[in-house]
A and B are shown apart, each in its own frame.
Chain A
Amino acid sequence: MDLKKLEEIPKNYLKEILGSLSKLEKLKKIPFFTGIHFKDAERALERKIETYKSVERDARRVWKIVELSRNDNRPQCRDYIKGIFEDFVDLSGDRLTGEDKSIIAGLGKINGRTVAAIGHNKGKDIKERMIYNFGMGIPQGYRKSQRIMELADRFGFPIVTFIDTPGAYPAIEAEDDGQAGAIAKSISVMFKVKVPIIVVLVGEGGSGGALALAIGNEVAMLENSTYSVISPEGCAAILWKNPSGTKLAARELRLTSGDLLKLKIIDRVIPEPLGGAQNAPERMVKIVKRYVTGALERYVRISGDELKSAKASKFESMGFFNKE
């Protein structure tokens, strides 16, 4: 066997391959077996090496998407609101303890209709990022969102959310203020409202912090956005126990728009300008505007009760398991 092939295998799998190789070499020394017996075993091993090589290539492809989803020059929630809504008014505070700037919420007009918008905003330079806390929400932000969603529901305003967050803010104060309960409540409010909810994942869809704003009648993802239960870095730290597993983790987690469409977790993929949204931010905003406008037209015709029950059955049917 050509040992050069081994160089392209991800480090994490090398041990396994080397183990099989040495086992094969040992077997070869037993005089009872003739050469023919090893051909199949060698071929199987080579196939395995090929698989691992393609895994490595695929992991690199997925990692590029992860990097694109985090690109600073992609349009952010604020850009989409500016480009899509007219007469937009920002609303602040959870009316309990404070205001979370990392989550934008407010009302504006699309095609003459009042629509509520909520979304994470990461900020584009270091100064902005400090203000927006890198788009990492705290309980006050999720409770503000709930307040605006309930308000929208009462007045019959459809809701559009823009998801772009590494995750909810992991901090002592956020935990003390009930981060877990705030996220759970947001999810629960999104199931209760009877107005149409359109969710657009525009960048990073990080875990519970993203899901808290992502229960939609229709959930769309930009081509190079991601949506994951944990960051690839976090997953590698836990399962691979080593940062070298990060790219492989990104692949295994199936966090790309294509994967998630196949798994029916999302309903639609919105194509990006060539090379990614950062290459033509204004065009990206226009594409999303066309999508949101069209989606609203489709959903405002459906009755509230139907919207609510369809949303529940969509999410309640998610899952794969064996049933005897």
Chain B
Amino acid sequence: MEKNKCKNCNKEIENEIFVLNLWVCPYCNYHHTIDARDRLQITADSNSFNELGKNISSVDFLNFYDIKSYGERLKETRLKASLDDAIIVGDAQIEGNDVALGIMDFGFMGGSMGSVVGEKIKILSNYSIGKNIPLVIFCTSGGARMQEGTISLMQMAKTVSSIGRVKENRIPYITVITNPTSGGVSASFATIADIIIAEPHALFCFAGPRVIKQTIKKNPPPDFGSAERNLKNGQVDMIVNRGDLKDTLANLLRLFRG
């Protein structure tokens, strides 16, 4: 039988149990990173998802070249990843509640935000306003996509502006912070939500532990940036286990209906 090792406690988990437990370690409750397709499957009601903005894809408009060209990196990543970019957006139902749903994928260039992520969030925001349905985004990202230069920084402005219009229309906006969420995504659309939910132990920060270590020349405390520390500091509303997320979201969506 196929077995997986928990990334946190190193215990072996049978594949079947691992999947049934939504890729959460049954021994230590460590929430393993999952891709957007799996996340969609465990979040939305079956067959309820219609993808939006499928026709949009990233392009190497700066001819950015480090040790490889951005164009080449995109090609390679598309072959490996389950998606065409770092987010999928669409409309879906969560326990019968209509939502405009966005799910990021860390497997696609570290969930980095470039023009496509920005545009898809704009499309999703407009859809949410047009249909007057709540906006829910699952976040995971290392930050802005450097290969798009300052244009990637501008996606922070673009997403905050688009979602600002959702909020002005008095439409609920909920984010779910999954491991890890940092940099430009943290400092833009992830943190302007009406409700911020985090998965247990998820890293959620602006500057990551490595950057902090460079500044203070020592290791930050082990709980630095963790969901639990963020809860204590008042930066998130609640921490919810993966298995309870769907129910929690559905309940919040019902509460917002008044």
- Chain B residues engaging chain A, CB cutoff 8 angstroms: 55-59, 61-62, 64-67, 114-116, 118-119, 122, 144, 146, 148-158, 160-162, 164-165, 182-184, 186-192, 204-207, 211-212, 214-216, 220-221, 224-225, 229, 233-235
Distance to closest chain A CB from B52 (angstroms): 13
Query: Does A37 lie at the interface of the complex (its beta carbon under 8 Å from any beta carbon of B)?
Result: no
- B206 neighbours in A (Cβ, 8 Å): 168, 170, 174-175, 179-180, 183, 208
A37 to B215, CA, bound (A): 56
Distance to closest chain B CB from A50 (angstroms): 15
With CB as the reference atom, state the residue of chain A lying closest to B211: A170
With CB as the reference atom, state the residue of chain B lying closest to A265: B150
From known contacts A185-B192, A227-B150, A229-B152, infer whether A315 and B187 are also in contact, taking CB-CB under 8 Å: no
Query: Contact: A208 with B153, CB < 8 Å?
Result: yes
From known contacts A320-B59, A322-B56, infer whether A211 and B153 are also in contact, taking CB-CB under 8 Å: yes
Query: Does A30 lie at the interface of the complex (its beta carbon under 8 Å from any beta carbon of B)?
Result: no
Query: Does A9 lie at the interface of the complex (its beta carbon under 8 Å from any beta carbon of B)?
Result: no
Interface membership of chain A positions 137-181, coded 1 if the CB is closer than 8 angstroms to chain B and 0 otherwise: 000000000000000000000000000000010111011111111
Query: Contact: B66 with A229, CB < 8 Å?
Result: no
Query: Contact: B184 with A252, CB < 8 Å?
Result: no
- B182 neighbours in A (Cβ, 8 Å): 180
- Chain A residues engaging chain B, CB cutoff 8 angstroms: 12, 168, 170-172, 174-181, 183-185, 187-188, 191-192, 207-208, 211-212, 215, 227-230, 235, 238-240, 245, 248-249, 252-255, 259-260, 263, 265, 311-312, 315-316, 318-324
A185 to B156, CA, bound (A): 11
Query: Contact: A175 with B212, CB < 8 Å?
Result: yes
Query: Contact: B55 with A324, CB < 8 Å?
Result: yes
- A248 neighbours in B (Cβ, 8 Å): 66
From known contacts A172-B224, A208-B184, A316-B162, infer whether A321 and B153 are also in contact, taking CB-CB under 8 Å: no
A211 to B207, CA, bound (A): 15
Checking A172, A184, A188, A319 against B115 with a beta-carbon cut-off of 8 angstroms, the contacting residue is: A319
Checking B119, B183, B191, B192 against A319 with a beta-carbon cut-off of 8 angstroms, the contacting residue is: B119
Query: Contact: B149 with A229, CB < 8 Å?
Result: yes
Query: Contact: A192 with B164, CB < 8 Å?
Result: yes
Checking A175, A191, A238, A318 against B160 with a beta-carbon cut-off of 8 angstroms, the contacting residue is: A191
Distance to closest chain A CB from B181 (angstroms): 9
Query: Contact: B205 with A319, CB < 8 Å?
Result: no
A183 to B155, CA, bound (A): 14
From known contacts A184-B160, A229-B146, A253-B149, infer whether A208 and B55 are also in contact, taking CB-CB under 8 Å: no
Checking B61, B216, B229 against A320 with a beta-carbon cut-off of 8 angstroms, the contacting residue is: B61
Query: Contact: B116 with A229, CB < 8 Å?
Result: no
- B118 neighbours in A (Cβ, 8 Å): 318-319
